[in-house]
Amino acid sequence: MLSRVAENLYWMARYLERAEDTARLVRVSRHLMLDFPGTATLGWSSLISISGADEIFDEYYTERDAASVLTFLCADRRYSGSVLGALAAARENLRTTREVMPREVWEEVNRLFLECSDIFSGTIDLRRLDDFLRVVIRGCQALTGMLDGSLSDTPARTFCAVGGYLERADMITRILDVRSANLLPRTPDDLTPFENLQWMSVLKSLSAYQMYRQHVRLRVRGPDVVRFILLNPQFPRALNRCLNNLNRKLSTLPRSGLACQRVTELLGMLATEDAARLADAPDRLHAFVDELQLGFNRVHEAIQATWFAGIDSPAPVVAD
């Protein structure tokens, strides 16, 4: 498979996952705000920080109010992490690789992008926000299913999966970071009712609430949630499982040593960290998430160098 095609597929999958996860992040934050009394002081601003988009946001917006933040995250195509921006980027990546993908995948990506830009383009109408987020999440899930059901087990499928898992891992940690960020005012008392509300929202944004309840029979508590999200081996949006899947997929590719090693390092970090303790130490959680994200970058760099690297690739391997 051509490196360019592999790279396009990888990014297509990353952008699709990013669109879905950003939609999830927005949805859960919004619900949380609605539940929370006296919303005036809530930190919409932290959603921008979680997304790592402070710089680009400040370039285009002056105020971090609900309307600006939601517009930016959902409908601003100048930002490739916005839902519409990510869908557009997924579509452009797929456009040049249409010939290796089942035709219905292209049609669905195209349709999803057009439907979403019909709902919001540039500005958003808050009354239609839920509708928009639902369309995005459902559309992305339909695509995941379509890829699973119609793409042969070839490198094309592997690169889609690799991109999807890596992006998902990244977004899981960002969503978890909501806890450490100032989305809600920090309270000295760990047992405030809002505390649990907030952990519940983390679970819900990952569609993890029911799975968590089946797994952990007790009431929702921070330490259990963090442990579940980071370490659960069964839940598809748990980091541990996500990284293991990523490793398994990578190992089927040629010359995968370096990339697999980088993922293994991340798994090592997970294994040695006392996950439960993080729940009560927001700053520690935030620092840990930062470390993980640096690790994701290293995985990406390894993938880039091994399979996509350009002209100046130093020692090309010649296969015949």
Distance (Å, whole) CA 133 – CA 123: 15
Binding-site member from 78, 98, 213, 277 for other proteins (CB under 8 A): 98
Q: CA of 258: how far to CAs of 131, 155, 168, 238, in Å?
A: 43, 18, 21, 23
Binding-site member from 48, 253, 263, 285 for other proteins (CB under 8 A): 253
Binding-site member from 55, 189, 283, 320 for other proteins (CB under 8 A): 320
CB nearer to other proteins: give 103 or 277: 103
DSSP assigned state of 127: G
Min dist CB 95 to other proteins, Å, is 6
- Binding string, residues 289-308; x marks residues near other proteins by CB under 8 A: ------------------x-
- Binding string, residues 120-159; x marks residues near other proteins by CB under 8 A: -----------------------------------x----
CB nearer to other proteins: give 34 or 318: 318
Distance (Å, whole) CA 65 – CA 134: 23
Q: Which of residues 173-232 bind other proteins (CB under 8 A)?
A: none
Distance (Å, whole) CA 150 – CA 265: 33
Choose among 241, 249, 185: nearest CA to 42.
185
CB nearer to other proteins: give 132 or 307: 307
Confirm or reject binding of residue 96 to other proteins (CB under 8 A): yes
Choose among 83, 84, 91: nearest CA to 107.
91
Confirm or reject binding of residue 319 to other proteins (CB under 8 A): yes
- The backbone torsions φ and ψ at residue 200, rounded to the nearest 5 degrees and listed phi first, read -65, -40
Question: What's CA 174's distance to the chain center, in Å?
Answer: 7
3-state secondary structure of 214: helix
The residue range among 52-60, 182-190, 253-261, 292-300 that interacts with other proteins, by the rule CB under 8 A, is: 253-261
The residue range among 52-60, 126-134, 236-244, 250-258 that interacts with other proteins, by the rule CB under 8 A, is: 250-258
Q: Which of residues 107-126 bind other proteins (CB under 8 A)?
A: none
Q: Measured over all CA atoms, what is the biggest interatomic distance in the chain, rounded to whole angstroms?
A: 67
Distance (Å, whole) CA 68 – CA 72: 6
CB nearer to other proteins: give 30 or 91: 91
Tokens for 58, please give them: 């400040």
Contacts of 88 (CB under 8 A, 6+ apart): 77, 113
- Binding string, residues 50-79; x marks residues near other proteins by CB under 8 A: ------------------------------
